[in-house]
Amino acid sequence: MELGIIGLGRMGGNMAERLRRGGHTVVGYDHSKDASDVGSVEELVERLSPPRAVWVMVPAGKPTNDTVTRLGEVLEAGDVVIDGGNSHYVDDQRHGEELAAKGIGFVDCGVSGGVWGLQNGYALMVGGDEDNVKRLMPIFETLKPEGEFGFVHSGKIGAGHFVKMVHNGIEYAMMQAFGEGYELMEASDIVTNVPETLHSWQEGTVIRSWLLDLMNRALADDPQLDAIRGYANDSGEGRWTVQAAVDHAVPLPAITASLFARFASRQDDSPAMKVVAALRNQFGGHAVESAKGADSPGADVSPPSV
């Protein structure tokens, strides 16, 4: 079928390519003229026959909001917009209402697959009305991996990004689990073959998984991870997961611990631990480390403590 795509970065570009390989007619627009088939959003809309379908694949937040607003101005009743970016599900709900007021449909689609998606397909999680989703199925069929998995219509508008957000929250905790296990093995002086151990776990264990495979790829290149600093960014969805949990009164201790571990990994010094150190010094006379840096963080030879 015919599809407009706005945003031809790494993700959008690869998805356009996979769709074209699958026989669809794709008209792409991007800020970068080199990548773009048309010169403007208006031109993209003109190039498509109604009822149109336009896939938005730009960064979440203002870029997506602006694009959806612009599409609301140039599309017609009966058209449909798909947000395939990483939008917050709350934004989806607002976008859906704004477009519905003009008779334009809205579908949100969480996409997983990263750099592997062009070849293997993208896992798609979709939210929206049954009618709109059904109409877009040819697109989803081409983008998804072959086989029975990799596509779901999860619920109402916002549900696609909601479950993608949860997917990423689960991912945070799984990554943290491997990180914690790795660190504990490395800390033991009886375990001398940590990379080999992780290698062996790829079959026959309960924890076999794609993340474990990736961990082994990383260790194959750098067995001690010497080249990598223990510094982890977060792309927003982990935060939204925790906030959604708080909103829904759902306890989420492992996922939240994983998010906080990333926050802490980015601190040069912890204000909270300054307070703890200051308090220990106040009540117990425990030595504090000078902020100038302590080279030999040895055991605390404290007196019988309070």
Residue of 98, 171, 196, 274 marked catalytic: 171
Give the DSSP per-residue string, 38-75. SSSHHHHHHHSPSSPEEEE-S-TTHHHHHHHHHHHHH-
Phi and psi at residue 232, to the nearest 5°: -125, 120
The least CB distance from residue 267 to its own copies, in Å, is: 8
The least CB distance from residue 218 to its own copies, in Å, is: 4
Active site residue 164: yes
Q: Which is nearer to its own copies, 12 or 28 (CB)?
A: 12
The least CB distance from residue 158 to its own copies, in Å, is: 5
Query: Which DSSP letter does residue 267 get?
Result: -
Which tokens go with 52? 């149109």
Q: Look up residue 17 and give its amino acid.
A: E
81 strand-pairing partners: 54, 106
The least CB distance from residue 135 to its own copies, in Å, is: 18
Q: Which is nearer to its own copies, 67 or 256 (CB)?
A: 256
What is the spatial distance between Cα 34 and Cα 46, in angstroms, rounded to a whole number? 20
Q: Which is nearer to its own copies, 20 or 199 (CB)?
A: 199
The least CB distance from residue 250 to its own copies, in Å, is: 5
Residue of 46, 164, 237, 292 marked catalytic: 164
What is the spatial distance between Cα 37 and Cα 234, in angstroms, rounded to a whole number? 33
CB atoms within 10 A of CB 195: 18
Q: Which is nearer to its own copies, 94 or 167 (CB)?
A: 167
Coil vs helix vs strand at 118: helix
Reference 170, options 203, 210, 229; nearest CA is: 210
Active site residue 134: no
Cα dist from 291 to 87, 271, 274, 277, 286, whole Å: 40, 11, 9, 11, 15
Q: Which is nearer to its own copies, 23 or 231 (CB)?
A: 231
Phi and psi at residue 287, to the nearest 5°: -65, 145
Catalytic residue set: 164, 171
